Amino acid sequence: MFRFIFLLVSLSLMPSAKACTCPSTLSTDQQVVDGMMQDAAMVFIGKVTAANLPSLNSAKRSFQFVVHESFKSVKKNVVTVYSALRSADCGTTLALGKTYLVAAYGRENMPIIRSCDRPEEIEFVAQRIALLRAK
CATH number at residue 128: 2.40.50.120
Q: Report whether pLDDT(24) > 60.
A: yes
Q: 126 lies in which domain range?
A: 28-134
State residue 3's pLDDT score. 47
Residue 6 lies in a domain: no
The mean pLDDT of 64-74, rounded to a whole number, is 96
Find the length of the chain.
Answer: 135
Residue 3 lies in a domain: no
Residue 114 lies in a domain: yes
Residue 51 lies in a domain: yes
Residue 19 lies in a domain: no
Question: Which element (helix H / strand E) includes 7?
Answer: helix 2-13
Is 92 within 8 Å of 113 (Cβ atoms)?
Answer: yes
State residue 15's pLDDT score. 46
State residue 85's pLDDT score. 63
The total number of structural domains in the chain stands at: 1
pLDDT tens-digit readout, 79-135: 999 987 655 446 577 899 999 999 999 887 889 887 677 899 999 999 999 999 998
Residue 88 lies in a domain: yes
Residue 5 lies in a domain: no
Residue 109 lies in a domain: yes
Select from 41, 81, 77 the least CA-distant residue to 64: 81
pLDDT tens-digit readout, 33-51: 999 999 999 999 999 999 9
State residue 121's pLDDT score. 95
